[in-house]
Chains A and B, each alone.
Chain A
Amino acid sequence: MYQSNYHRRVFVPKLVLPILLFLSFLLDGINNEFFSSVLNLFGFQILPNLFLVFIFYILRFRLKKEFNFYIWILIIGIIFDLYFSLSIGIYLFSYLISAFIMEFIDKKLENKIYNSWITAIVGLTSFYLFAYFGILLISHPNQTFVQYFIFTFIPTILFNTVLTYIFYKPALAFSYWLVP
């Protein structure tokens, strides 16, 4: 009995967390396609980023140590680039750096709920800033930085922060189930 609980405790997170990361990657592209008319209203461009939201939950609920966290971000980051992008590295490094920053901040801040929003917002902000500067290396974005900031950056950060807030409690409950 003790041994089977131990195996469940060790192997289930190792299996479930990478699958969920992969699913959140798929859902980002699917949501962006099927709900594009809602996400692109009045000239605003909202980009769902469930993958980063999920990374935030993993760090926040201390699930990182349950599996090879950075290795999986690296793998799915490369898949992101290969599948969606026309270059390699923008997603990969933006996700790695924002995960690192979120982890760093989360450790430094006091363990309170409102501090977790700071972590999420800083993580999202760093991702979209790194991605913007990454794209400047290879292409001219069809938005100036000011346009990008107003019409894409702010609504995207708000949308994903609200998403993080909505799913916070269910994700916390799920983390307790996953790692009892």
Chain B
Amino acid sequence: MKKFFSGKKIIIIFATVFVAIGLIIGSSFFYNRSNSVPFIQRFENDVVSFFSKGVSSPAAIINKSTDSLGQLFQTYRQNQKIQSKIDQLAQQKIEINNLLKENQELKKNLELKGTLTDYQTVDAVVIQRAPTFWQSVLVINKGSNDGVKKNAPVMSNKGLIGKVVQVSNISSKVLLISNISLSEDRFSVSMQAENQPVNSDPNDPKMVNGVISGYDVKTNTLYMDELTSDESVAKGTIVQTSGLGGIIPKGIYVGTVKSVKENSSGVAKRIYITPSANLDSVENVLVVIKSGKMENK
């Protein structure tokens, strides 16, 4: 034991510890402040993504086959429901076109910018999930070549799942909403206060605004802090992005209110939210990017 911990080895151990701590803290500091990825890392990410797509194909086939088998049993029942809904779709399409036209005219009149209809979406497939407990990072198969940019919100078919944190040419990293701990990464969200008429303007005092500040793994619950209103909130209320801050568009579905933790005076302090999307199983995503029209404004 005496021989193992010789003077030279102790110096090497200390030097390694210092280098490790310095590298971890320094690189984390750099990535938090940098808007783009260094060329070498971009190249490395693209090369690994290329190989990853090839290696993941058999796994995707196995996964799809098992999914398909399970879905086959539900198909007949779903088919009946779908048939009845198809009949309604034609009518709804006409209504949507009219509403879109009306929406554009109203927004023009009100000079309203930055709502969800001003954004486009890019379809992407998740090719890797970081095998870590500390950062729930997904790697998707779309990058800057497809218009993906840093901080773009990412949705599954059920709602918001996270945001883009690093972009390479043919792939991007998505940090899940369950793992956003830095203050600059947090999402601004809003919800309707209890017994108030329907309104989606986040500046309205009857809307409860706040930020998603954490996630409880055990209960699959997001929590919302820094509330801007003392109004009470009902269980089951829909939570959506508020658009405050100007980076994330308004109106992306986040989840529903699970419970509200209040202090002794009854003023809401923390709101617990059940996320709409299943964060443990995400295969296809939509990256929300500003439309060319918005970029030019």
Asked if B52 contacts A36 (CB within 8 A), the reply is no
CB distance from B35 to the nearest CB of A (A): 14
User: Cβ of B59: which chain A residues have Cβ within 8 Å of it?
Assistant: 30-31, 34
Q: Select from chain B the residue with minimum beta-carbon distance to A42.
A: B218
Asked if A86 contacts B139 (CB within 8 A), the reply is no
| B73 CB–A CB distance under 8 Å | no
Near B by CB (< 8 A), chain A positions 4-46 give: 22-23, 26-37, 40, 43, 45
User: Cβ of B173: which chain A residues have Cβ within 8 Å of it?
Assistant: 84, 86
User: Cβ of B27: which chain A residues have Cβ within 8 Å of it?
Assistant: 81, 87-89
Q: Select from chain A the residue with minimum beta-carbon distance to B171.
A: A83
User: Cβ of A22: which chain B residues have Cβ within 8 Å of it?
Assistant: 51
Please classify the interface of chain B as helix (H, G, I), strand (E, B), loop, or mixed, using the class held by over half of its residues: mixed
| B267 CB–A CB distance under 8 Å | no
User: Cβ of B282: which chain A residues have Cβ within 8 Å of it?
Assistant: 36
CB distance from B5 to the nearest CB of A (A): 13
User: Cβ of A29: which chain B residues have Cβ within 8 Å of it?
Assistant: 52, 128-131, 139
| B165 CB–A CB distance under 8 Å | yes
Q: Select from chain B the residue with minimum beta-carbon distance to A28.
A: B131
| B160 CB–A CB distance under 8 Å | no
Near A by CB (< 8 A), chain B positions 124-152 give: 126-135, 137-139
A139-B134 contact in complex given A27-B55, A30-B59, A33-B127, C-beta closer than 8 Å:
yes
How many residues in B have their beta carbons less than 8 Å from beta carbons of A? 54
User: Cβ of B216: which chain A residues have Cβ within 8 Å of it?
Assistant: 142
| A131 CB–B CB distance under 8 Å | yes
| 0/1 string, B215-236, CB within 8 A of A gives 1 | 1111110000000000000000
Please classify the interface of chain A as helix (H, G, I), strand (E, B), loop, or mixed, using the class held by over half of its residues: helix
How many residues in A have their beta carbons less than 8 Å from beta carbons of B? 50
Asked if A32 contacts B129 (CB within 8 A), the reply is yes
Q: How many Å lie between the Cα of A51 and that of B21 in the bound state?
A: 23
User: Cβ of A131: which chain B residues have Cβ within 8 Å of it?
Assistant: 132-134
Stretch at the interface among B115-123, B176-184, B190-198: B176-184
CB distance from A149 to the nearest CB of B (A): 11
A141-B45 contact in complex given A26-B52, A30-B56, C-beta closer than 8 Å:
no
Residue pairs across A and B with Cβ atoms less than 8 A apart, 19 shown, are A29-B139, A32-B129, A33-B127, A33-B128, A33-B138, A37-B281, A40-B280, A43-B219, A45-B133, A83-B128, A84-B131, A87-B28, A87-B31, A90-B134, A131-B133, A138-B24, A138-B28, A139-B134, A142-B214
Given A34-B60, A81-B27, A132-B134, 5 more A-B residue pairs with CB atoms under 8 Å apart are: A29-B131, A132-B133, A137-B25, A139-B134, A147-B217
Residues of B within 8 A of A (CB): 16, 20-21, 23-25, 27-28, 31-32, 41, 44-45, 48, 51-52, 55-56, 59-60, 62-63, 126-135, 137-139, 165-166, 173, 175, 178-179, 181-182, 214-220, 278, 280-282
